[in-house]
Amino acid sequence: MFDIDRWNEIWNALAKNKIRSLLTAFGVFWGIFMLIVMAGAGKGLENGIVEGVSKFAVNSAFFWTDRTSEPYKGFKRGRYWNMEAEDLVYLRNNVPEIEYITPKNFGGRNNGGPNVIRGKKNGAFNVKGDYPDYVKIDPCTVLKGRWINEMDIRDKRKVCVIGEKVFEQMFDPKENPIGQYLKISGVYYQVVGLIKPETRININGRTEESVSLPFTTMLQTYNMGNQVHFLAITAKKGVPVSVVEDKVKSFIKKKHSIAPTDEQALNSVNIEKEFKQMSGLFLGIQILTWIVGVGTLLAGVIGVSNIMLVIIKERTKEIGVQRAIGATPRTIIAQIMLESVVLTTVAGYIGLSLGVGLLELVSKVLESSTGKSDDHVFFTHPEVSLTVAISALAVLIIAGLFAGMIPATRAIKIKPIDALREE
């Protein structure tokens, strides 16, 4: 294996036609390079999306209403309706599998105009009515102050919690917003908290651009009665979200006289199901990456096999001499296959190194750019695992062996007497 004469022979065989060898090696290089880059890009997409939703409660579901699509109990089709605050207690009593249940209401932006005013500053932001438990579903980091608490709900306090973008537009950078007042849709509220979202899931607007009020305060101040625009629930540990989702829909429809078969009147999204679909998508991307990458790699390996056949033809007389002086078929096969493996391995290693280097460069560029921006990105840390790298090298070496097998088989079929006659 470490015979210097054998390695010199391999080098001389490949160096006889440098351009041909380089072009052949490029096919293998490009195949492994593309495999690594595509695998890394797929991982970068997965990292970006998963990083943005990893802290969100997977065992959750959300509900909102729409017009009815079926007549029922004397009500006409197309009826508008809303869930009610009393539904929370009703569901608690009838669906014991619920862990957390929290309503959420939304306020308008005054037809696109400014709805938040402070002195000479103003802005148009999302206004939401929230419950304390909502951050257990969609968590946030409290930068200053606090989140809405039970006393705010009970006493219907006129307080608010603001997002980062609201702070940047309504306050000076070094100013402390806690204790200050904002005029929101004509009513003054005291700022008690400044928050930053820990997920990238936006419900009726980005959290950074939102003002959250106590849910009960919003109902009373803006004359919303007892209606609920949006309902969030989580299932207890070990209970599938789909079970809770079906029960909630059944009881809500029963309470509000909605036809059990009306699929339009009460909409929902099952986060557990969405996460499973997302995982399936990433698995599909990985499989597609390997199919395309290995296909491209095999195309390069076929090129190696073809060039080895040409080399064998050019070295017919040389092989005949080797056979004539006692070289065994096993020696000839080992030599040809070693040449093939060397060519594919060297080209593949260069492709692997450059592919990993490119991913590392892109990762550093993304880190520096996101460090200067607060905008969320859905592509981050493109990388390949050690398992992928080792698997790619294993595929490469095996492919190199197969690439040399056909030329080696042809070489040993050459009869010494015929080879010596070759001109």
What pLDDT is stored for residue 158 in this prediction? 95
What's the mean per-residue pLDDT of the chain?
A: 82
Residue 184: how many other CB atoms lie within 10 Å: 23
Burial tier of 129 (Cβ tally within 10 Å: 0-12, 13-18, 19+): buried
Taking the C-alpha atoms of residue 414 and residue 422, their distance in angstroms, rounded to an integer, is: 11
Length of the chain: 423
Minimum mean pLDDT range among 29-33, 76-80, 205-209: 29-33
The pLDDT confidence band at residue 137, using thresholds 50, 70 and 90, is very high
What pLDDT is stored for residue 254 in this prediction? 93
**Would you list the domain boundaries of the chain?**
4-54+276-421, 60-271
Per-residue pLDDT tens digits for 68-103: 999 998 899 999 999 999 999 999 999 999 999 999
Per-residue pLDDT tens digits for 384-422: 877 877 777 777 777 777 766 766 666 666 665 555 555
Which own/partner pairs from 73-79 qualify as long-range (CB within 8 Å, at least 24 positions apart)? 73/257, 75/257
Taking the C-alpha atoms of residue 395 and residue 200, their distance in angstroms, rounded to an integer, is: 38
Bridge partners, residue 162, by sequence: 194, 211
Q: Which residue has the tokens 């921006």?
A: 373
What pLDDT is stored for residue 374 in this prediction? 47
Per-residue pLDDT tens digits for 254-284: 999 999 999 999 999 998 888 888 888 888 8
Q: Does 423 score more than 60 pLDDT? A: no
CA angle, 323 then 328 then 329, to 5°: 95
Taking the C-alpha atoms of residue 325 and residue 135, their distance in angstroms, rounded to an integer, is: 82
Is the Cβ–Cβ distance between 118 and 170 less than 8 Å? yes
Taking the C-alpha atoms of residue 293 and residue 35, their distance in angstroms, rounded to an integer, is: 4
Residue 415: how many other CB atoms lie within 10 Å: 10
What pLDDT is stored for residue 56 in this prediction? 84
Q: Which residue has the higher pLDDT, 88 or 336?
A: 88
Burial tier of 19 (Cβ tally within 10 Å: 0-12, 13-18, 19+): exposed
What pLDDT is stored for residue 381 in this prediction? 76
Q: Does 316 score more than 70 pLDDT? A: no
Pairing relationship of beta strands 181-184 and 187-197 according to DSSP bridges: antiparallel
What pLDDT is stored for residue 42 in this prediction? 82
Among the listed residues 322, 346, 291, the one whose alpha carbon sits nearest the alpha carbon of residue 26: 346
Per-residue pLDDT tens digits for 47-73: 777 776 777 888 999 999 999 999 998
DSSP state string for 368-380: HHHHT--S--S--
Percent of the chain with pLDDT over 90: 41
Minimum mean pLDDT range among 157-166, 268-277, 327-336, 414-423: 414-423
Tell me which amino acid residue 251 is. Answer: F
Q: Does 2 score more than 60 pLDDT? A: no
What pLDDT is stored for residue 48 in this prediction? 76
Is the Cβ–Cβ distance between 191 and 150 less than 8 Å? no
pTM (predicted TM-score): 0.71
Taking the C-alpha atoms of residue 255 and residue 88, their distance in angstroms, rounded to an integer, is: 12
Q: Which residue has the higher pLDDT, 319 or 117?
A: 117
